[in-house]
Structure 1
Amino acid sequence: MKKQLVAGLMVMVAMLSFGCSGRNAEFGVVDMKTVESKAAIVQTVKEEVSTKGKALQEEMEKEMAGKSQEEQKKILEDKTAEMQLIQSEAQNKLKASLDSALTAVAKEKGLGAVLVKDAVPQGGVDVTDAVVEKMK
């Protein structure tokens, strides 16, 4: 009898702590292709990477002029590493913007999660436009 009472109390405490219905069953979906094509920050970051890439290319060509093959190889490695860093920073900037937008939209709409639309066969609330608007 005592064990049943203790077990019943534990179940009640768990239900009150976590909610009787569990997590929010509502979820959102976002079309990443649309986000990539419509979000202004994506275009801005792509342009920045392209501009920096062209500048790096020109710099590399100037530095390589009149150098030995070994020196040219070293310059190429250095510029490649710089370009990778630029691309990595751009990806991090876009990821931070997307994460922030997804969190804000999920909170505003009371969604338990936001999933990539291509991974969800059906259902979910499409929040693509709201995410595009929130990306900065």
Structure 2
Amino acid sequence: MKAIKKKFTALVLTVLAAGVLAGCGSEDNVGVVDTVRVQKEAPLAKRYIEKREAKREEIQKKLEQDKLSMSEEDFRKEQQKQGQELEIYSAGIQRQFKADVDGKLAEIAKKKDVSIIVDQRAVPKGGIDVTDELIAELQ
């Protein structure tokens, strides 16, 4: 569970860091978002985490059944296969969440008339906080 949250944070920060670099030297308005809070409070983020957890539990149950009917070597291979499947599934969920966040941030930026939205940790002070709007949009 912590690993998926870390991956979501890294993903969002990467997108937002690119935005910071694109906006360096600009005097345009800057929006800021608390990505940690978004991951904790946004209903959509919670649903994605629940989907991933459900998939993990499904795989775990399958592996428990397989262990009873497989040799140790075959079971290890199946564990690796299922682990890869979970990683692929998690990566897909992360891409979808990133796309959802990017889309909503673009809409918010247009409404708030800001040229860029970055993680609040990337801006020493100031900026227009759009965290609440993003959480509301990620229903």
Structure 2-normalised TM-score?
A: 0.77
Identity %: 28
Q: 1:35 aligns with which of 14, 31, 38?
A: 38
Letter in 1 for 2:30: F
From 123, 131, 136, give the equivalent of 1:133: 136
Q: Which structure 1 residue ranges, 5 or more long, are not aligned?
A: 1-21
Match of 1:115 in 2: 118
Larger Rg: 1
- TM-score normalized by the length of structure 1: 0.79
The CA distance in 1 between the partners of 2:80 and 2:102, in whole Å, is 32
1:6-45 counterparts in 2 under 5 A?
Answer: 25-45=28-48
| Aligned equivalent of 1:64 | 67
Runs of 4+ with deviation above 3 angstroms: none
Report the Cα distance in structure 2 between the residues aligned to 1:85 and 1:96, rounded to whole angstroms.
17
Deviations 1:83-109 (A, max 9, x none): 101211111121011101110000111
Indicate which of 92, 97, 100 corresponds to 2:100. 97
Which piece of structure 1 moves more, 44-53 or 59-68?
A: 59-68
Match of 2:84 among 69, 81, 86: 81
The answer to whether the 8 A contact 1:23-1:112 is kept is no
| Partners of 1:75 and 1:28 in 2: CA distance | 46
Amino acid at match of 1:93: Q
Q: CA deviation at 1:64?
A: 2.1
Secondary structure at the aligned position of 1:114 is classed as strand
2:3 equivalent in structure 1:
none
Q: 1:36 Cα deviation (Å)?
A: 0.9
How far off its partner does 1:24 sit?
5.8
Q: d(CA) in 1 for partners of 2:121 and 2:107?
A: 21
Does the 8 Å contact 1:100/1:135 carry over to 2?
A: no
How large is the RMSD of aligned CA atoms in angstroms?
A: 1.6
Counterpart Cα distance in 2 of 1:133 and 1:49: 22
